[in-house]
Each structure stands twice: as C-alpha cells, then as structure tokens.
Structure 1
Amino acid sequence: MATAPTGDDDALFDEFLSERGHETEDVGWQEDYNKLQCPECGGLHDTSASECSVCGWHPR
C-alpha cells in the first residue's frame, strides 16, 4: 500500500544519495546584481522575494 509523501522524504532522498557518494546541498536563490534569480527557471525578483512568481519555486 502506498503512503502519502511527507516533509521528510527530501531528507531521506538526500541521505540515500550521500551514502552513495553524491553531494547534496540546499539550493537557494542565486544573486544577479541587485536581484534574486530563481535557480529553476531563471526568473528575476526583488531581494525581498520568498517564492518565485514565475514557477512557484521557493527555498527550503
């Protein structure tokens, strides 16, 4: 029987990858001059942004 995903799924997946030699890190905003750039779609936002208005991505 399948279970609903929980917030711990990402942590378990990161642990799985790191045990097999892969590097894992939290992804955050990229900075482009005086703007924040979304690492998923490249959308530019003010420095006060907490979520990408283009694709909905948000840092953990």
Structure 2
Amino acid sequence: MASAPSSDDLFDEFLEDNGHETEIERWERSYNKKQCPDCGGLHDESATECGVCGWHPAA
C-alpha cells in the first residue's frame, strides 16, 4: 500500500512548481576555503557564519 506524501513534501512541491528553490543551502567550496552561496565571500574552513553578509547555513 502506498503512503500519502507528507505535508512537507506537498509544500516543497508547491514551492518548486511556483519557481522557488527548496534545497538546503550549504557552504560552497573554492579551493581550500568555504564560499558563501549568497555573496561569494571566502572564509576559512572553521567559519560558521559569513563575515561579509551574515549568512549561515540552516541548522
């Protein structure tokens, strides 16, 4: 028997259908540095928040 999709799955599908991203944003990598996905600022591997724009990954 198939299970019904969760309300979170339905909400994500609605957002995606209407042009919104639902992926969890994470640090990008540039050589041996972390790169902010919002502003492109480069940080050491130990960074937990962007020192340029204040972005931080969702917990």
How many residue pairs get aligned? The number is: 47
TM-score, scaled to structure 1: 0.65
> SS where residue 25 of structure 2 aligns?
coil
List gaps (5 residues or longer) in structure 2. 1-7
Cα-Cα RMSD: 2.1
TM, length-normalised to structure 2: 0.66
Structure 1 residue 24 displacement after superposition: 1.4
Unaligned runs of 5+ in 1: 1-10
TM superposition outliers: structure 1 runs of 4+ over 3 Å: 20-23
Which of 12, 15, 18 lines up with 1:17 in the alignment? Answer: 15
Q: What is the identity percentage for the equivalent residue pairs of Structure 1 and Structure 2?
A: 60
Deviation at 1:17, TM superposition (A): 0.8
3-state secondary structure, aligned to 2:15: helix
